[in-house]
Structure 1
């Protein structure tokens, strides 16, 4: 990898790392003033625990090559094959390899941080950190290998999700399309968020409209950081392919977010009578989530359509928690789950070359739907099991009196705002 590619790879990794503080701002502004430190600390804690685990064992689990000593080829790599990356630091490709590790670490951190929005205002910090560590090891590390795992000797994909078309006996070109994380990041985190929402239960007094964002500008700062960082998220991997597709990746990332704003605020205007700034920001995130798996495989026109659909549908989907009776505090399911599914399924119809519109075949849609459902089911089951075990042992939810008084003082001994 030449110096230009290396420079972009490092830049992209730093951009994605910056997204986790963006998640902290985005989520922090939407909770109560006496819970904002707790909310933001869950993102910062993810940077610590997941970052260390990724370097120690997580990256190794993405190598699922058959015959290389891995536990289950295509499903589970050996976490101790190169503990703490001792061997990877050697050789002429060490720079590129270590940047690849760093880039992957930022995805792992952001995915775990996203889950925290579902349990705002009511989670113990120690319990969250334990959950983050166990879910990363048992879920994210293997799942990202299912989608993006490759043979380091020749670069061939090895994960079963990527190769799902072959496993189903489809045409060899029908591989699962997930360029930057529709399944591995967004559907994965949303399914885990839903499971934790069930485990921890509803906030005290949970009803529609009972709480409102305490700091709208803070949330919009988070939106800006996330949109900025998303160019590293979606466009960063172009460094490994000599910048192939850099332009289409960038323009699709930009325009899907812009269209998502329009889709959300139009629905909000008709549904509630007024478009809101939180809605506009959420629409941008919905568009970005949906384009994440599809950014390399759509023309810009279809990216606009996808962004519009994602913004509109997610604006409606966030109401489901009131009808279905689960308390997903900050709409992780409505934004990342629904948006992720939309992006993955949209490819079944409109992916260049293999989508139904271009090929006349349903194979791509079947592969996309199967992969999305499988990842969601696995993530939900793992997250529910870990969350339930933590709740039954050390306890996951704070006491009712601490929830009412404010999690920040009870758990962290701090207040976000010193008002005199």
Structure 2
């Protein structure tokens, strides 16, 4: 019976891992839809960097730092003894694979915030540093049984802090260090200039994939196919995402403003981020409340980041950073066994606050230091000319969309002797696609 349970658990963890890795497709589509068309290939290639270099960095170094032999509750030994198996007798290979999927998600959070102006080579180094060193260190604090936050009793079931707050505040630091995109904040009064997303339906498809994969992210963290909480975790995940999107829509309607599709997408993602820590520890009603708050917080957090003149093309800081903190603190409020609102106890709330602040500060400061080191050594920002042209052509030598060029090629081959008059509407479409502006 024990062997059969381990086999079922292994199968469940591998399935959940596949769902989490599939989320990288969601990140790719979401970011490609949010950025201008001339940078769509570049953001997609950065996700491939996460999947390749991020995987190898965590496999070679990060897993040891995160789950290796403990040193003072702060870090694991790179060359220390490693466990023979994962939790509950799970094969170590299955557990390692699941943790790799989590690690590359941290890097993908960062990729959107630095989109459209970061050197491709610099992003490769950032991914290696984040997945190989920075994330595993703070992850050790929370998810290693000997980590200092774990010993205090911090609860972060699937990573509102360990994954999202860490990645979100690292993204904040690097976006601040890079500076805004050209003409993003301009004019004498430094007013904002909005860059319209190139393809909102594409971004929506990315959000749907992320939403789907989140069931593997949260429910898969049980590491057990027989865990009695599986259905509750999945339901809480779904309810929080729905509530997040709903409260964002309502906020715009109440303020009598056009409902921003991009913000609604981020509202649902914010609900997913916020429930990730407590999906196994709170009631369904609490999940809805957490989602409702997240959908409002993402609007104010986005406005706050813009007021600081920090350019985050996809809203990663607001979605992952701020709502990662919210979700962590919410466990201290709504935890069935020790929440302040549910039981009147305060200790867990204080531990959750401490953990969220510590990891957010670590994410910001460590990423800023790493980015500064790269800035003074290899450089982190593309040239103004490359940025103006677009990173797709400047770095990869290929544009995302070729419909107009292909059409022109057909005309040239089939009717070489006919001189056609310029087609203004086609030209406008091409400019619109390349610059990501509204038609």
Query: TM-score of the superposition, structure 1-length normalised?
Result: 0.89
Deviation at 1:419, TM superposition (A): 2.7
Within-5 A mapping of 1:21-170: 21-63=25-67, 65=69, 70=70, 72-81=71-80, 88=84, 96-149=91-144, 157-164=145-152
Please point out which of 308, 328, 344 is paired with 2:292. Answer: 308
Residues 1:64 and 1:239: Cα distance change in structure 2 (over 3 Å): closer
Q: Does the 8 Å CA contact 1:117/1:329 hold for their aligned counterparts? A: yes
| 8 Å CA contact retained: 1:31, 1:120 | yes
Does structure 1 residue 192 correspond to structure 2 residue 170?
Answer: yes
What per-residue deviation string (whole Å, max 9, x for no partner) do you get for residues 240-264 of structure 1? Answer: 4842311111110111001111011
Paired residues of 2:171 and 2:316 also in contact (CA < 8 A): yes
Q: Distance in 1 between matches of 2:355 and 2:299?
A: 25
Match of 1:8 among 3, 9, 12: 12
Maintained 8 Å contact 1:50/1:133 = yes
> Which residue does 2:385 correspond to in 1?
401
Residue deviations 1:365-385, cap 9 Å, x none?
111111011011111111011
CA distance in 1, matches of 2:8, 2:130: 35
Q: TM-score, normalized by length of structure 2? A: 0.86
Q: Distance in 2 between matches of 1:289 and 1:112?
A: 15
Tell me if the contact between 1:64 and 1:158 (Cα under 8 Å) persists in the aligned partners: no
Q: Distance in 2 between matches of 1:412 and 1:313?
A: 37
> Partners of 1:418 and 1:88 in 2: how far apart?
51
* Rounded Cα–Cα distance in structure 2 between residues aligned with 1:44 and 1:306: 32
Q: Do the aligned residues in 1 keep the contact of 2:183 with 2:193 (CA within 8 Å)?
A: no
Secondary structure in 1 aligned to 2:75? coil
Q: Is the partner of 1:2 in helix, strand or coil?
A: helix
Q: Distance in 1 between matches of 2:68 and 2:133?
A: 15
- Native 8 Å contact 1:262 1:308 kept in 2: yes
The answer to whether the aligner puts 1:235 opposite 2:219 as a matched pair is yes
Output one character per residue of 1:362-405: Cα deviation in whole Å (capped at 9) or x when no partner. Answer: 21111111101101111111101111111111110000111111
CA drift of 1:43 comes to 1.4
RMSD in angstroms over aligned alpha carbons? 1.9
Q: CA–CA distance in 2 between the matches of 1:265 and 1:132?
A: 34
If you compute each CA radius of gyration, which structure gives the higher value, 1 or 2? 2
Cα offsets for 1:330-370 (capped at 9, x unmatched): 21111111111111111221111101123322211111111
Local SS of the residue matching 1:397:
coil
Cα offsets for 1:54-106 (capped at 9, x unmatched): 222222222355xxxx4x23211112336xx8x9599x96x622110000000
Q: Please list every run of 5 or more consecutive structure 1 residues that lacks an aligned counterpart in the other structure.
A: 150-156, 165-174
In structure 2, how many angstroms separate the alpha carbons of the residues matched to 1:275 and 1:121?
26
d(CA) in 1 for partners of 2:277, 2:365:
23
3-state SS of 2:345 partner: coil
Task: String of CA shifts for 1:147-192, please: whole Å, max 9, x gaps.
Answer: 111xxxxxxx21112222xxxxxxxxxx111000011111101110
Give the Å deviation of 1:266: 1.1
SS of residue in 2 equivalent to 1:163: helix
* 2:173 is the alignment partner of 1:202: no
Q: Which of the residues 274, 278, 281 maps onto 2:265? A: 281
- Tell me what 2:353 maps to: 369
Provide, for residues 178-207 of structure 1, a one-character-per-residue CA deviation record: whole Å limited to 9, x for no partner: 000011111101110111012111111113
Structure 2 residue ranges without an equivalent (≥5): 186-191, 405-439
Q: CA deviation at 1:272?
A: 6.0
Query: 1:215, 1:391 → 2: CA distance?
Result: 31
Cα contact 1:74–1:159 (8 A) shared by 2:
yes
Aligned to 1:224: 208
